[in-house]
Structure 1
Amino acid sequence: MDTEELPLLDALRGLAMLQQEFLRLALFVASEGPATFEGEELTCTLGDGQRRTSTFLAMAAGQSLETLLHMAKLRGIPVRDAYPVARSAIESFVNASYLLAESDNVAARAIRYIDFAAWRHHNRKFGSGEFSIEVRSDPDPRATLTQEYPEFSGKGNGSWTSLDVPSRIRRVGELAGRRSGLRLLAAYGLIYSLSSEIIHGSPFGASYFYSAHLKGERTTEAFQAATVSHLEEIFIGVLHAGCGYLAAFFGHQNMRAPLNAEEMIFARLLELSTKPSSSFPPAMPQAADTEGEQ
């Protein structure tokens, strides 16, 4: 098997930066207008609601990926905080893919939800029993809910979608193609549950971060090396999600040239993620000194 020139983490970072260029292309076509790639004119054909909602979510996902690119320099305990960022990127890519693939009616509800959620944030009750707090800016929130946001009133109607994440991924696969659905599903399986454990501060979440990839060693150096493995699995998961979104955006609109480019990125991702560790030189044991960087 061929030996790679770069450590796995560096190779994944490079692939992520390439993927970001195609995300920028998709965002440009969706928000600014037609563009040409490899001789093919790319024109967004999404409905206005689909285009608006999916674009700003995909942009948010791309920003989280930029944050992860900076965090790739970290070693040790700070790496733990990369999991919530990765979770945000993956779920944003899933939701962006879902909204561009679904009907404009689904997107319209998502747009309405923005105003509703902003209002609800200032008119809610939280806590348990005597340890409860009620926040209210509206003198009659019940009337406002009924009159202004009737589609969100009633039990089980308070969200922008009734589908859970796996069901949204299923819909992407049904509407935008198996390629996009399977990439998003892989990202979900790689990161979602682990990041939930870490985000919610569960005992397993703490144990997993501090013990996974250690291989029985209990030294500072071994722990720092193990956090490189955490970063590698995070990038593999987020890259799957980014490929899923690009496959949905380009595939759903029959943009062949960038869709072929996405396939090449994904093929390289599979190649990197399935090679044995012996194929890669070791990663830097600790982050380079970044003092003085802007």
Structure 2
Amino acid sequence: MVDSEKLPLLDALRGLAMLQQEFLRLALFVASEGPATFEGEKLTCSLADGQRRTSTFLAMAAGQSLETLLRMAKLRGIPVRDAYPVARSAIESFVNASYLLAESNEIAARAIRYVDFAAWRHHNRKFGSGEFSIEVRSDPDPPATLLREFPEFCGKGKGSWTSLDVPSRIRRVGELAGPRAASRLVAAYGLIYSLSSEIIHGSPFGASYFYSAHLNGERTTEAFHAATVRHLEEIFIGVLHAGCGYLAAFFGYQNMQAPLKAEEKIFTRLLDLSSKPSTAFPCAPIHEVEDGNEQSNNAEPINPQDAAQ
């Protein structure tokens, strides 16, 4: 028999996300500011400069998206739909950060070069179809500039920072940083990626899924609000998997054992929460909260040192 949790599942996941954020801050500090000590182990970033710069840049962006989701966790009803694009951004940013820290510095250098290329291309492009198209140009001779300034991005299929799709990037993380990181990332990908694509692109299925999933045939406003709590729970489970994947990649790739063990405890708790039946938790409040800054009284930030205790 499963003992009932003291918190609603969503609040328990929020608390775990806040703990995970503390370890993300630890990783970002070590990568950008210098050595730190955790549980008696000195943590020193050994990544090459390009790997460190690109992965930290993206991991910080993913962490900010998770902060946004923490603010959105009190939303109920239709506004919850907008949590899916934020979750997708967080997950893909964690995947890319993990990939870039594990891949060669040459791959990271291409990603850095892509920043300048994409900025130039944004002001020199054509979009639309047929007579309903627009050309934007700030360069008097874009083809010449492309050949002269960005030759590595010339040619069909070469206009991106990587030729690998998301599953292939995750596979490379597994090959280079270990299966623990890749398994967390691929779970996050499976949980959110395709659903968020349907919702982001405004597909009929995406709209239908958001409005009807978890309703169990009920047609009331209260039932719909309760269903959107389930959406938020699934979103947090997916993003927490991705965050664990990045932490496992960062700490594991650099053989930082103390925080790696702490990440394992966070992930074990995540699995425990996500595998219990909904009856093991009290119901989350279903009223809509307009103030995204409101926090549950029971979900307070936790210091990373607590994870090792």
Tell me the TM-score normalised to structure 1 length.
0.98
The superposition leaves residues 231-261 of structure 1 with CA deviations (integer Å, 9 ceiling, x where unpaired) of: 0000000000000000000000000000000
How far does residue 2 in structure 1 lie from its aligned partner after superposition? 1.7
The superposition leaves residues 158-192 of structure 1 with CA deviations (integer Å, 9 ceiling, x where unpaired) of: 00000000000000011000000000000000000
**Structure 1 runs of 4+ off > 6 angstroms?**
none
How far does residue 264 in structure 1 lie from its aligned partner after superposition? 0.1
How far apart, CA to CA, are the structure 2 residues paired with 1:135 and 1:292? 40
Counterpart check, 1:225 vs 2:226: yes
Segments of 5+ residues of structure 1 without an aligned counterpart are none
How far apart, CA to CA, are the structure 2 residues paired with 1:263 and 1:79? 30
- Number of residue pairs aligned between Structure 1 and Structure 2: 293
Greater mean alpha carbon deviation, residues 126-135 or residues 9-18? 126-135
1:197 is aligned to 198
2:281 is aligned to 280
How far apart, CA to CA, are the structure 1 residues paired with 2:83 and 2:169? 24
1:126 is aligned to 127
1:260 is aligned to 261
Counterpart check, 1:104 vs 2:98: no
The superposition leaves residues 182-204 of structure 1 with CA deviations (integer Å, 9 ceiling, x where unpaired) of: 00000000000000000000000
Percent of paired sites with the same residue: 85
Higher relative contact order (CA 8 A, sep 6+): 2
- Distance 1:62-1:292 versus aligned 2 partners, 3 A rule: closer
Q: Report the residue type matching 2:230 in the other structure.
A: S
How far does residue 287 in structure 1 lie from its aligned partner after superposition? 3.4
1:35 is aligned to 36
How far apart, CA to CA, are the structure 1 residues paired with 2:148 and 2:293? 55
How far apart, CA to CA, are the structure 2 residues paired with 1:52 and 1:290? 35
1:209 is aligned to 210
How far does residue 291 in structure 1 lie from its aligned partner after superposition? 9.2
The superposition leaves residues 40-59 of structure 1 with CA deviations (integer Å, 9 ceiling, x where unpaired) of: 00000000000000001000
How far apart, CA to CA, are the structure 2 residues paired with 1:292 and 1:259? 31
SS at match of 1:5: coil
Counterpart check, 1:19 vs 2:37: no
1:80 is aligned to 81
Segments of 5+ residues of structure 2 without an aligned counterpart are 295-309
How far does residue 285 in structure 1 lie from its aligned partner after superposition? 1.1
How far does residue 292 in structure 1 lie from its aligned partner after superposition? 9.7
How far does residue 288 in structure 1 lie from its aligned partner after superposition? 3.9
SS at match of 1:172: helix
SS at match of 1:198: helix
Q: Report the residue type matching 1:222 in the other structure.
A: A
How far apart, CA to CA, are the structure 1 residues paired with 2:291 and 2:246? 32
SS at match of 1:2: coil
SS at match of 1:127: strand
Q: Report the residue type matching 2:131 in the other structure.
A: E
The superposition leaves residues 114-154 of structure 1 with CA deviations (integer Å, 9 ceiling, x where unpaired) of: 00000000000011111111100000000000000000000
How far apart, CA to CA, are the structure 2 residues paired with 1:289 and 1:71? 9
- Distance 1:242-1:131 versus aligned 2 partners, 3 A rule: same
Contact 2:76 / 2:287 at 8 angstroms: preserved in 1? yes
1:235 is aligned to 236
1:145 is aligned to 146
How far does residue 286 in structure 1 lie from its aligned partner after superposition? 1.5
